Amino acid sequence: MKKSKRVITRRDFIRTGSYAAVGGLMGLPLLSYAADKKTQKSRAVLIRDNKILEPGGSLRKSNLEEIFDEAVTTLLDAEDPASAWRQLVQPTDIVGVKSNVWGPLPTPSHLEATIKKRLMAVGVKEQNIAIDDRGVRSNSVFKKSTALINVRPMRTHHWSGLGTLLKNYIMFVSTPWMYHGNACERLGAIWNKSHIKGKTRLNILVMLTPLFHGVGPHHYSRRYTWPYGGLIVSTDPVAADATGARIIQAKRHEFFGKDRPISPPPRHIEAADNKFDLGNSHPDRIDLIKLGWQKDILI
Amino acid sequence: MDFKAFMKNFHFATARISHCLAVLTLSICTVIMTQTADADSLKKLRARLPGQISGWKAEPEDRIFDPTTIFSYINGAAEVYKAYNMRHCLSRRYINPNGPPIILDIFDMGSSEDAYGVFTHDTDGEVMDVGQDARYRPGWLSFWKHRFFVSIFMEEETTAAEKAVKELGRAVAAQIPTKGSRPSILLLLPQEGLESESIHYMHHPIVLNYHFYLADENILNISSRTDAVLASYHREGQKALLLLVLYPKTENAVKSLTGFLKHYLPDADKTGAALLENGKCAAVRLKNRLLAVVLEADSRELAESLLKSVKHNPD
């Protein structure tokens, strides 16, 4: 153990109340520190549609496009989707869309296609757009990218507590396991690497059928997903993730009927705010706009 | 140096080199033999696995993963299996045109202690009589027997698939003839008030931090050379969480006690107890090479009583 470093222990978290609070932000320790530091709020849009999923669970594509456009337009105070996207990218940009292919709960391919359509509508050339996950490090478009769009579904995760937008960038490093310590607290460091820093224009956290609890080696059971029918969109990945985390926590509370914190606590969200200065995690610093279906919104 | 002295040194050096080479050769052979034995063990079991069960038929190709390739198969949780020294994992899919796929994963953990340990990583669920310990949760059956940890998972829950999963579990367990032993450190746990379903055996700090986040550094020096067990207690309406760590030598335990007191309980009194900020009590006691830590107890009396009732290690 390094002697010079101050050891952070559970007692530090107990002092801030993050292991004791019920109905608050269990699992997001030290958020109060972050709240004191920041002065500028982040905007996040949570949009839901109770008809986005067919009774059998398949996706209604037109509904998805509609809520996605409305969320992006609202987020950027734009008149229409085209002008919103013109705020995000230039026709000369080379754009990597960082998606997520995790088998049981991948990013919907129609959402990927919609993002590509919107980029091309701005004038970005098709050959300058790539959608990828595990191959981003060898993808020629990603290698020379000038802009990134980050999109993935929200789910619980064995080591990081939650598979978040922040965690989605772990494929940009050659040694992902180096970031697994202490519930993947250091994930934010990846966002400050030179080939990533400042490139992300938009973050889309897919909350259509989030996974709120994991079982087994493969960490998945359909029983622990539910038709939330939402998207969270923000230019601040921390704000989007923190909002999603609160919804997941509330769902766990509702489902299990007792305080059952996300395990392990998704420390990387707070650390992305407090240590790596990537955005706002505290609700007081998030201007959350809620659109669409409000029933059982859980936040 | 005269010739006689030179020859004496030469023979001495030659003997040492030969000895080192012999030790090296023996070590390499041991590693190769162990790996071969591991592969053989799983190979033998594989040959006995059912080809079909309750209408589900095994796909023609099984897949075998090692501690490196397992990451390509299990996203995220693979480190748990590595933390318990996984040797190989055999994965077989059972298919039924009228039902969801069933995935059988058999992890050869190398020892029954580690098979038990990885089983205790997740002990939620309904107790079942399969293997040496088993749990069933919706969609997932897990059990351990001998040096194997077995996971059977259905991609979607149906009544027929659940029946098939349980039958497959019993069939796999029946093909593992040997029983394994549980880690001996479990014998040191006090029995009164022990919630046996809460026991987690481990020898990696990431596993401790998963179940009870202690610190961002390994302040208790938990490693592959230590055995540790975490367990919950319930006595007379009060609760407590006890951690036992057995070190290879007393000096390791002393060093860990010092680190624990410095970083976690700097306010401990002379008995090793302190009141935590949440009103709970924590306390620590050294017994030869065993460190007993009450991480949280509802009262000081309970913490002290638990520490007092920790059994002495064989030293």
Query: What pLDDT is stored for residue B11 in this prediction?
Result: 62
Contact A215 B137 (CB under 8 A): yes
Task: Establish if A263 touches chain B: CB-CB under 8 angstroms.
Answer: yes
Shortest distance between the Cα of A273 and any Cα of chain B, in A, equals 18
Contacts of B138 in chain A (CB under 8 A): 215, 221, 223
- pTM summary value: 0.77
- Name which of B71, B75, B140 is nearest A216 (Cβ-Cβ): B140
Looking at chain B, the whole-number percentage of residues with pLDDT higher than 90 is 73
pLDDT tens digits along B263-275: 999 999 999 999 9
Greater confidence, B221 or B24? B221
The answer for A183, left when phi > 0, alpha when psi is -120 to 50, beta otherwise, is left
Query: What pLDDT is stored for residue A245 in this prediction?
Result: 97
Torsion angle of the four alpha carbons B251, B257, B258, B260, in this order, in degrees rounded to the nearest 10: 140
Name the DSSP class of A127: G
Contact B140 A159 (CB under 8 A): no
Contacts of A153 in chain B (CB under 8 A): none
Rounded CA gap, B151 and B103, in Å? Answer: 8
Task: Establish if B79 touches chain A: CB-CB under 8 angstroms.
Answer: yes
Cα–Cα distances in angstroms (integers) from residue B132 to residues A94, B117, B135, B178, in the given order: 56, 12, 11, 10
Shortest distance between the Cα of B7 and any Cα of chain A, in A, equals 47
A259 residue type, one letter: D
- Name which of A10, A215, A264 is nearest B210 (Cβ-Cβ): A264
A 99-118 near B (Cβ less than 8 A): 102, 104
Rounded CA gap, B99 and A248, in Å? Answer: 30
A 146-165 near B (Cβ less than 8 A): 157-160, 163
- Name which of B71, B79, B139 is nearest A215 (Cβ-Cβ): B139
pLDDT tens digits along B128-141: 999 999 999 888 99
Size of interface A-B (CB pairs under 8 A): 101
For A241, phi then psi, to 5°, come to -65, -45
Query: What pLDDT is stored for residue A32 in this prediction?
Result: 39
Query: What pLDDT is stored for residue A178 in this prediction?
Result: 73
Contact A158 B77 (CB under 8 A): yes
Please name the residue ranges forming H helices in chain B: 3-48, 70-73, 78-83, 112-120, 159-174, 205-211, 250-263, 300-309
Task: Establish if A22 touches chain B: CB-CB under 8 angstroms.
Answer: no
Query: What pLDDT is stored for residue A272 in this prediction?
Result: 95
Q: How confident is the model at residue B31 (pLDDT cuts 50, 70, 90)?
A: very low
Contacts of A168 in chain B (CB under 8 A): none
- Name which of B81, B140, B218 is nearest A221 (Cβ-Cβ): B140
| SS3 of residue A216 by DSSP | coil
Residue B197 has pLDDT above 80, yes or no: yes
8 Å CB contact between A31 and A18: yes
Residue B217 has pLDDT above 70, yes or no: yes
Task: Establish if B143 touches chain A: CB-CB under 8 angstroms.
Answer: no
pLDDT tens digits along B53-70: 999 999 999 999 999 899
Query: What pLDDT is stored for residue B9 in this prediction?
Result: 60
Contact B216 A14 (CB under 8 A): no
Greater confidence, B125 or B9? B125
Residue in chain A nearest B262 by alpha carbon = A7
Contacts of A173 in chain B (CB under 8 A): none
Strand-pair category, B99-108 with B148-154 = antiparallel
Query: What pLDDT is stored for residue A246 in this prediction?
Result: 96
Which ipTM did the prediction report?
A: 0.79
Contact B263 A9 (CB under 8 A): yes
Query: What pLDDT is stored for residue A23 in this prediction?
Result: 32
What are the structural domains, with CATH classification, of chain B?
42-174 (3.40.1000), 184-309 (no CATH)
Query: What pLDDT is stored for residue A265 in this prediction?
Result: 86
- Name which of A5, A159, A265 is nearest B76 (Cβ-Cβ): A159
Contacts of A185 in chain B (CB under 8 A): 216
Could you say which residues of chain A have pLDDT below 70?
Answer: 1-5, 16-39, 177, 181
To test the contact with chain A by mutation, choose from B136, B137, B216 the residue with the greatest count of A C-beta atoms within 10 A, namely B216
Contact A216 B142 (CB under 8 A): yes
Task: Establish if A14 touches chain B: CB-CB under 8 angstroms.
Answer: yes
Name the DSSP class of B189: S
Rounded CA gap, B172 and B149, in Å? Answer: 11
Torsion angle of the four alpha carbons B265, B268, B271, B273, in this order, in degrees rounded to the nearest 10: -70
Contact A10 B278 (CB under 8 A): no
Shortest distance between the Cα of B161 and any Cα of chain A, in A, equals 14
